[in-house]
Structure 1
Amino acid sequence: MPNSSSGRRRVTWSSKADPDGRVRERWHRADCRTDWAQCGREWDVVAVELGRGLDALDALRLGLHRGYPVLADYLTNRLYVMVEPGTGHVCRDLPGVRVLSTGAQVLVPVSGAGSAAAHWVSPPRASRLVDSGKLATALLRMVAVGAVAS
């Protein structure tokens, strides 16, 4: 739905659930590389099912283009949300969530668009990270709504 003040649609996190043809084409270029990054230093990582994670980010009303580092693995249908180091444990006991911290690694793009297994849905900028407590609350609300709808 167009925004009356600008005439443009608000781009949502959920719109990134399926990469478009342009993104897929960029993955096949020779300049696209990925590498392993240590967790627990610059960030902890909260891994969740792709659609559920994108919906949670939409519920938090975080700007898609604000530089929150969020990765998609389209091959395994997982979303990796970077949170403050040492805070990922807040999400540890949530259903369907895995937390990566000190001693773990995550595959990240280091050049180009990355790959289908490691694509920045939102590339990192500055030191902006998703708040793990707010993310946990959003994910819990989604579980509660899902349980009521069933």
Structure 2
Amino acid sequence: MPNSSSGRRRSTWSSIADVDDLLRERWRRADCRTDWAHCGREWDAVVVELRRGLDALDALRLGRHRGYPVLADYLTNRLYVMVDPGTGSVCRDVPGVRVLSTGSQVLVPVSGAGTAAAHWVSAPRGSRLVDSGKLVGALLRSVDAEQAVAS
């Protein structure tokens, strides 16, 4: 979808589902370091299949460059969407979703461009987190759409 002010394509979440050669090169050349971050303190992590999660974020119309912490693990094809601590549980009953909260950890980049196993597709800035209630709605709508197509 062209951006009327610049003529460029709008930057969507789903446009980053596939790893390109430029990203592979950034990982190869960067001095990357990862570490474990505890869930349930600053955020809960809602874990979903990569493309499905990106499509849900597109449906919510959240700007990719607005600082919502969203992490991709391209090796396992998973997306980690960070939501307010204690609120991830609203997503527990969504098929195909796992919630990481108190007692869980997630691998995050702490320097460089990240890695294939821990790459910020939207690096955290400030205290902005994805609203878990809106996220669960978008994920449930995607389940309903998949079921409608299958029947």
The TM tier, using the shorter chain, reads over 0.9
Which residue in the other structure is 2:117 paired with? 117
Q: Deviations over 1:105-134 (max 9, x none)?
A: 000000011110000000000000000000
Unpaired runs of at least 5, structure 1: none
Paired with 2:33 and 2:21, the residues of 1 have a C-alpha distance of: 19
Paired with 2:70 and 2:94, the residues of 1 have a C-alpha distance of: 19
Question: Which shifted more, 69-78 or 18-27?
Answer: 18-27
Paired with 2:67 and 2:19, the residues of 1 have a C-alpha distance of: 19
Which residue in the other structure is 1:105 paired with? 105
Which residue in the other structure is 1:90 paired with? 90
Matched residue SS, 2:3: coil
Which residue in the other structure is 1:9 paired with? 9
CA shift, 1:30, in A, is: 5.2
Q: Deviations over 1:58-83 (max 9, x none)?
A: 00000000000000000000000000
Between the two proteins, what is the percent identity of the paired residues? 81
Structure 1 consecutive aligned stretches of length 4 or more whose deviation exceeds 6 Å: none
Q: Deviations over 1:34-55 (max 9, x none)?
A: 1100000000000000000000
Which residue in the other structure is 1:81 paired with? 81
- Superposition RMSD on alpha carbons, in Å? 0.9
Compute the TM-score of the two structures, normalised by the length of structure 1.
0.97
Question: Which shifted more, 23-32 or 8-17?
Answer: 23-32
Which residue in the other structure is 1:32 paired with? 32
User: Which amino acid in structure 2 is aligned with residue 99 of structure 1?
Assistant: V
Change (3 A) 1:85 1:72: same
CA shift, 1:6, in A, is: 2.4
Unpaired runs of at least 5, structure 2: none
**2:66 matches 1:66:** yes
Paired with 2:79 and 2:101, the residues of 1 have a C-alpha distance of: 15
Matched residue SS, 2:29: coil
Paired positions, count: 150
